[in-house]
Structures are given as C-alpha cells and as structure tokens.
Amino acid sequence: MNKTMTVLVVEDDMPIRNLISTTLKTHEYKFLTAKDGNDAIMQASSHNPDVVLLDLGLPDIDGIEVIKNIRSWSNMPIIVISARSEDTDKIEALDCGADDYLTKPFSVEELLARLRVTQRRLSYQNQAAVSESMFTNGKLKVDYAAGCAYLDEEEMHLTPTEYKLLCVLSQNVGKVLTHKFIAEKIWGSAWETDIGSLRVFMTTLRKKIEKLPDSPQYIQTHIGVGYRMMKVEC
C-alpha cells in the first residue's frame, strides 16, 4: 500500500498536533497542519489533501462549519477528532458529511488504523469508477442494476428492506453512517421506532452475510452512533 497520502491535520492543541505530526512523519505520510478552522478551509482548498483529520473544538469556527464548507466543494475524506463528551457532535459531524471519527484520547495505532481504512476506501473508489453498477467486496457482490446480491457466487435471499440496507452500506463503504442517515435512506424518516427497526434488520442481514455474526467481517457496529461496511481484502 503506498503511503504517499497527504494528511491535513487540524488541531489547535499543540501537544496533540505534534503527536499526530510525529506519528505521520514516522510512518512516511505527508502532512500539513492547521491551527484553526479558517486556516483548515484555506489549506484544504489550496493543497487538496487526501484526507483531513479534523478536531471539532476549534478556537475560531466550529469543526462542523469546516465540514459543511469542505463538503460544499469536495468529497475528500474527513476524519473527525472529538472528545468523549461530544457524542452528539460526533453524530452531527457524520450527518454533515464526515467519514469517520476518533475519540480522544486515542492511540497511535488507532490513528494509523483509521488512515489505512481511508486509504483502502480511496483505492477502492478509484477502481469502483470502472464499474458503478456492480459492487464487489470480498465474497460479497451487489448487482445494483439487477437488484440482487451474491455471497460466494450464490444469490442471497434478502427481504426488500435488507437489500436496501445492504445498498446504503455498500454505496458508502468505508464510511461510518449514523442510525439517522441509514433510517432516512430506507424509510424516509428517522423516528425512534425506525432506528429500533434498523437494529432488527441489521441483525437479520448480518446472519445472512457474516460467517460469524458475533465477530462481523463486513459490517461494524459503532455503539450509539451507527454502522460501517468495511472494505474487506480478498
């Protein structure tokens, strides 16, 4: 995997910014740094980094505003860094278009793992442009045009809701999706009852696609936040 990815680090807290920068340097990533939101927007637009690591609590403008601004002109991956007390902020950030999150305090290993997930997603997206009607991930295939899914070359028997759920996840592979986002895509609403139903459909879908539903390979649970389909290596 090539590491020529450029990371824009947006963090006003100097020790954390230095820790991240040192980690990136050690692991041969290229990086830029920004100390506040306006600087982040400027650097993102002038340098077009491959990924943005964005602290939500910034001294000038809120991190959410930075996401909204970047999303108005770019799909570059944004990984939000949030404090544990900012759970609702994290969910809002994902709903505004962030791709993933890290919760403070995080380890160097967690940071590197998130960057690898993003890299896999970027390289997948490049290939995906070739075939937009067919999604392939490990042993899973979704034929969007035909409206069916396959596991291990065998057609899966999915209910219409399970299929929709699978499509929402596969079309956003690598991205953490909030319960609200998924429920709205499936039912057009996100009431508490929809989110309750979502859990039920997720359980039945998992039984069909995961070999070991208790240690899922394809769909990760983010407790209190939502779900993510992982890019599985073949």
Give Cα separations from 94 to 2, 77, 82 (angstroms).
Answer: 27, 11, 12
Q: How far is the CB of 106 from Ca ion (least distance, A)?
A: 14
Tell me the pairing of strands 100-104 and 134-137. Answer: unpaired
Q: Give yes or no for residue 210 binding Ca ion (CB under 5 A).
A: no
How is residue 133 written in tokens? 């009607």
Binding segment for Ca ion (CB under 5 A), chosen from 6-14, 73-81, 99-107, 145-153, is 6-14
Q: For the chain, give the number of residues.
A: 234
**Residue 225: Cβ within 10 Å count:** 17
Q: How far is the CB of 58 from Ca ion (least distance, A)?
A: 6
How is residue 119 written in tokens? 């890299």
Q: How far is the CB of 34 from Ca ion (least distance, A)?
A: 12
Burial 92-103 (b: 16+ CB within 10 A, else e): bbbbbbbbbbbe
> Closest CB to Ca ion among 82 and 137?
82
Encoded one letter per residue, x for contact with Ca ion by CB under 5 A and - for no contact, window 156-195 reads ----------------------------------------
Residue nearest Ca ion, CB atom distance: 57
> Closest CB to Ca ion among 12 and 65?
12
Residue 144 main-chain phi, psi, to 5 deg? -65, -35
Q: Which helix (H) or strand (E) holds 35?
A: none
> Closest CB to Ca ion among 86 and 162?
86
Total binding residues toward Ca ion, as defined by CB under 5 A: 3
Which of the residues 9 through 68 are near Ca ion (CB under 5 A)?
12, 55, 57
Residues that bind Ca ion (CB under 5 A): 12, 55, 57
